[in-house]
Structure 1
Amino acid sequence: MDRRSFLRTSALGGTAAAATGLAAPAIAQGTRTLTLVTSVPDGFAVFDDAAVKFVELVNAMADGEIVIEKKAAGQLVGAFEVFDAVSSGQADMYHSADYYFGGQHPGYYYFTAVPFGATGGEMISWYQHGGGKELHDELGQIFGLKSFLCGNTGHQPGGWFRKEINSAADLQGLKFRMPGIGGLALGRTGASVQNVPGGEIYQALASGAIDGAEWIGPFADERLGFQEVCEFYYTGGFHEPGSALACAVNRDVFESLTPSQQKIIETAAMATHHWSLSQSDANNGAALERLRQSGVKIMEFPDDVWDAFGKASKEALDEFMGDELFARIRASFEASVASTYDWTSISDGVFQRQRARVNAG
């Protein structure tokens, strides 16, 4: 029995129990209703905003042929259970960050972010023009999914801390929320890494269950109120320089759609990706200034902390090189990022430095 058949016929433990209320796609009076499950509560800036935008676009373009109903984390399945629910056919589609599912296959880490990886622009360049899209599809086939990038948070800061980080030694024993390979790398520096769902981060910080956390960026972080419970905000992060979000459709469901309906989903996902990245870039500067005015201390990690992050990140990535598909994804990703940077570093990079200098004069 192949992986796809197995997932349809086997029990999913807690996921199955949580998803028993999910029905097969409904078709009535020419309208097909598809259920989309997400990994965050309703109203989360950037993350949920992208899911809402995707649903709006599909529903508008489908002109009544398809209606997507969005269910937030916990309404039908838990935040980290959406992958299994869609892979097994118990839900039609999910919107999430694919690095949550690195335990299913480590290749998924690359379709959100990896440490010292791609900026938002570099990410979409790889995905659209460097083979990333095809590799995402190959990975999805293993699990009965048709996957698309569907949002991008831009650069994610180093995070919120209760105390100042003066050296790499300050990471020892630090209870810190960070998912993905970034979390695996941070664990190698001596920190105690926690994978807390987005909807639970504030309470974990407020209660002292964790000493710090990273989330998305000033705009999203401000809305969640992290400035109320943490004093130090490190704006430069190593772990997610351009974090993509993803939409995945159960492959049987996707293949049952008409070619035009399939293209609507693909087009809406890509439009959402661009809209989401611009949303973050448009709002983070003003939000950061409000955080600064509220008394938050805006910080930068010292060089020895960056060095520790770099060493740990390489070790964490190398750990998965025994997997042939992971190795191919990594090689494709790194080649594309290097090629893109060869140009942008001497074009955009030079221009931005000179623009700042001239405008300051």
Structure 2
Amino acid sequence: MQRRSFIKNAGVAGAMAAAAAGPGLVQAQATIRWRCASSFPKALDTIFGAAEVFAKKVSDMSGGRFQISVHAGGELMPPFGVVDGVQNGTVEIAHTAPYYFFGKDETFAIGCAIPFGLNSRQMTAWMYDGNGLKLMREFYAQYNIVNFPGGNTGAQMGGWYRREIKSLADMKGLKMRIGGFAGRVLERLGSVPQNIPGGEIYQALEKGTIDAAEWVGPYDDQKLGFHKVAPFYHYPGWWEGGPQLDLFINSKAYESLSAEYKAIVEAASAYAHVDMQAKYDARNPAALKQLVAGKAKVLPLPRTVLDAAFKEAMSLYSEISAKNSNWKKVYTDYANFRRDQNLWFRFTEAQFDRYMQASKL
């Protein structure tokens, strides 16, 4: 009896010891370190910072076992080289604006923003409750990418100009830094688009290499100092009603994650997505006041410019649909969603916003 009791107690003690050691062993085996290549400079705490917010949440929710180091554009690879970096497995993850890569396929732009597209709320709705995430993932699979929404700036400003835009004629020959797909529409208006990384725009504008530049909105634009060399601040950014940033993850790296880590990535990206928009909405008003106090001239773009751009954009989309099956598949769903969203928003959001903005509170 004593021998049996000893064996029994020893077995229980051994099991308890293994259980106590188990989590530590599992944690050691499950430690992961990834690198994230951003397309943005560190100076922009909102847009670059979204990747840092994401990485911190991943670390917090994993108890420090899942670490992601975030690297500014140019540190690991050029700002516009991050898709190749993720596709080839040079880095596990990137944080970028998908429309930078429309040269690979125009469909990339739909995952971020296209002229006269969805606003930020509508874009989030299409992604999370419409077919957006499903359709874009099917497309990105061709590039070994799994995407997650990683922020939105909200509707952007229409850029900084060395001279005021008074008519459609002023767009002719205008050399403008503009991100992504909008350049295709500007070309049709007679402008000369330039795709320049954020960290290089000021020098080009200061030297007169370009006549105008758009970035995001007051908070970021003030940091980059565009108002010092181009005083005319036009609005709205008709090409970016709700540009979504994405976290691009190498498909093999993503599939290697446990179910727990996949859930953490999904939750952390959603948090970073909301956090980024909240920061822009909270910080833009004060920055705009400061820019106006600094003699920036805030002016609407002429309706003739907007109408011409709208017409050319719709024509361009029809042309692309006729030759690009990827675009046609995604854009057809996107356009249907946009039509219904605009029908709904005109009765509620738009009317409420117009009333409140006209009120003297």
Alignment TM-score > 0.5, same fold: yes
- Determine if the alignment matches structure 1 residue 328 to structure 2 residue 329: yes
Worse-superposed segment, 151-160 or 308-317: 308-317
Q: Give the aligned partner of residue 131 of structure 1.
A: 131
C-alpha distance in 2 between matches for 1:30 and 1:122? 38
Q: Give the aligned partner of residue 157 of structure 1.
A: 157
C-alpha distance in 1 between matches for 2:85 and 2:221? 28
Indicate conservation of the 8 Å contact 1:205/1:211, yes or no: yes
Q: Give the aligned partner of residue 169 of structure 1.
A: 169
Q: Which amino acid aligns with 1:99?
A: Y
C-alpha distance in 2 between matches for 1:356 and 1:196? 34
Secondary structure of the corresponding residue to residue 241 of structure 2: coil
Worse-superposed segment, 172-181 or 249-258: 172-181
Per the normalisation by structure 1, the TM-score is 0.89
Q: Which amino acid aligns with 1:61?
A: M
Secondary structure of the corresponding residue to residue 176 of structure 2: strand
Q: Give the aligned partner of residue 288 of structure 2.
A: 288
C-alpha distance in 1 between matches for 2:69 and 2:201? 26
Worse-superposed segment, 322-331 or 71-80: 322-331
> Where in structure 2 are the equivalents of 1:1-361 lying within 5 Å?
30-321=30-321, 322-357=323-358, 359-360=359-360
Indicate conservation of the 8 Å contact 1:54/1:272, yes or no: yes
Secondary structure of the corresponding residue to residue 68 of structure 1: strand
Distance 1:233 1:335, change over 3 A: same
Write the deviation string for residues 48-92 of structure 1: whole angstroms up to 9, x where unpaired.
021111111111112122100111111110000010011011111
Q: Which runs of 5+ in 1 are unaligned?
A: 1-26
1:235, distance to aligned residue in structure 2 (A): 2.3
C-alpha distance in 1 between matches for 2:235 and 2:355? 22
Secondary structure of the corresponding residue to residue 74 of structure 1: coil
Distance 1:28 1:285, change over 3 A: same
1:342, distance to aligned residue in structure 2 (A): 1.7
Q: Which amino acid aligns with 2:135?
A: L
Q: Give the aligned partner of residue 11 of structure 2.
A: none
Q: Which amino acid aligns with 2:147?
A: S
Worse-superposed segment, 100-109 or 31-40: 100-109
Q: Give the aligned partner of residue 21 of structure 1.
A: none
C-alpha distance in 1 between matches for 2:320 and 2:354? 37
1:129, distance to aligned residue in structure 2 (A): 1.2
Indicate conservation of the 8 Å contact 1:41/1:199, yes or no: yes
Higher CA-based Rg: 2
C-alpha distance in 2 between matches for 1:327 and 1:91? 30
Q: Which amino acid aligns with 2:49?
A: D
C-alpha distance in 1 between matches for 2:355 and 2:194? 41
Secondary structure of the corresponding residue to residue 299 of structure 1: strand
C-alpha distance in 2 between matches for 1:245 and 1:341? 22
Q: How many residues align?
A: 334
C-alpha distance in 2 between matches for 1:169 and 1:232? 17
C-alpha distance in 2 between matches for 1:288 and 1:88? 41
Indicate conservation of the 8 Å contact 1:101/1:108, yes or no: yes
C-alpha distance in 2 between matches for 1:289 and 1:243? 23
1:302, distance to aligned residue in structure 2 (A): 1.2
Q: Give the aligned partner of residue 24 of structure 1.
A: none
Write the deviation string for residues 213-243 of structure 1: whole angstroms up to 9, x where unpaired.
0001111101111111111000212110111
C-alpha distance in 1 between matches for 2:125 and 2:103? 26
Per the normalisation by structure 2, the TM-score is 0.89
Q: Which runs of 5+ in 2 are unaligned?
A: 1-26
Secondary structure of the corresponding residue to residue 69 of structure 1: strand
C-alpha distance in 1 between matches for 2:100 and 2:245? 11
C-alpha distance in 2 between matches for 1:236 and 1:85? 33
Secondary structure of the corresponding residue to residue 252 of structure 1: helix
What fraction of aligned residue pairs are identical, expressed as a percent? 34
Write the deviation string for residues 36-58 of structure 1: whole angstroms up to 9, x where unpaired.
00111112142102111111111
1:258, distance to aligned residue in structure 2 (A): 0.2
Q: Give the aligned partner of residue 14 of structure 1.
A: none
Indicate conservation of the 8 Å contact 2:100/2:181, yes or no: no
C-alpha distance in 1 between matches for 2:52 and 2:33? 16
Q: Which amino acid aligns with 1:351?
A: F
